[in-house]
C-alpha cells in the first residue's frame, strides 16, 4: 500500500484528469433513476458492456418498478440471462421493484440508507445512484479504484470503506463530484491490473508506482 499523497500532488492529478475529460460519465446505459438502480445492481461481477447489451431491450418495456412487476421474473430472466448470477439478480430486481411500488410510491428514494435497504443494492450501488442521478459527491469504490488508490497513494485503504473515506477526506472539494468516475476510467483503461499503460499515463510523473512498461 502506497502512502497517502499530499494535497498539492492530488490537486495536480485531478486538474489533469479534469483537463483530459471535464465531464466523465458512467458507462451503464439508463433513462431514469430506476433504470440506473437496476443497471448498477445487474453490473455486479459483470461488465458494463454486457449489462448494456442485456438491458437494451429490457428498458424499452420495463423502465419503472410497476412495469418490471408486470413483466414478471421469468421474462426478466430472458432479457438478462447472458450476464452472471442472472437468476439471483432477477429475484432481487423483482423484490426491490415491489418495495419501491409499495413503500415509495414507485419512486427511487434519494438517501443512502433507503437505497441500501433494497435487495441487491449495496453501498457502492447506492453511491453510484446518488452521484450520477442526484449529483451528490458520493464515492463508489470498485476494484479499479481500490487497486489504483493503493497502488498510487491517491486514496489508499485496507478495505473499500477506507478507500472511500480517503477520497472524501483528501481529494480537494472541486473534484469530489467526478472523482470516482475519473478514477474508475483511469483504472479501467490506463492503470490496469496486470499491464498498466504507464507510458501513456497523464499522471506518470506524479505517480510513485514503479513503471511496469519499461
Q: Which residues are marked as active site? A: 124, 142
Gap between the Cα atoms of 71 and 61, Å rounded: 8
For residue 1, the tally of other CB atoms under 10 A from its CB is 10
For residue 213, the tally of other CB atoms under 10 A from its CB is 11
Return the DSSP state at 200: G
Gap between the Cα atoms of 186 and 208, Å rounded: 16
Gap between the Cα atoms of 111 and 101, Å rounded: 17
Distances (CA, A) of 195 to 147, 185, 189: 13, 15, 10
Amino acid at each position: 500500500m502506497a502512502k497517502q499523497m499530499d494535497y498539492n500532488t492530488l490537486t495536480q492529478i485531478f486538474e489533469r484528469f479534469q483537463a483530459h475529460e471535464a465531464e466523465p460519465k458512467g458507462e451503464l446505459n439508463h433513462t431514469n433513476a430506476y433504470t440506473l438502480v437496476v443497471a448498477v445492481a445487474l453490473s455486479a461481477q459483470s461488465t458494463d458492456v454486457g449489462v448494456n447489451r442485456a438491458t437494451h431491450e429490457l428498458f424499452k418495456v420495463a423502465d419503472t418498478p410497476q412495469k418490471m412487476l408486470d413483466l414478471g421474473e421469468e421474462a426478466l430472466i430472458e432479457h438478462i440471462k447472458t450476464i452472471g448470477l442472472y437468476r439471483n439478480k432477477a429475484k432481487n430486481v423483482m423484490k426491490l421493484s415491489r418495495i419501491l411500488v409499495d413503500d415509495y410510491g414507485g419512486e427511487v428514494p434519494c438517501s443512502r440508507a433507503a437505497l441500501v435497504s433494497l435487495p441487491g443494492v449495496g453501498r457502492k450501488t447506492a453511491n453510484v445512484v446518488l452521484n450520477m442521478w442526484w449529483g451528490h459527491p458520493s464515492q463508489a469504490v470498485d476494484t479499479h479504484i481500490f487497486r489504483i488508490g493503493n497502488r498510487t497513494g491517491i486514496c489508499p485503504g485496507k478495505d473499500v470503506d477506507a478507500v472511500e473515506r480517503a477520497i472524501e477526506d483528501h481529494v480537494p472539494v472541486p473534484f469530489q463530484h467526478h472523482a470516482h468516475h475519473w478514477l474508475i476510467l483511469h483504472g479501467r483503461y490506463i492503470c490496469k491490473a496486470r499491464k498498466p499503460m504507464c507510458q501513456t499515463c497523464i499522471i506518470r510523473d506524479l505517480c510513485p508506482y514503479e513503471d511496469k512498461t519499461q
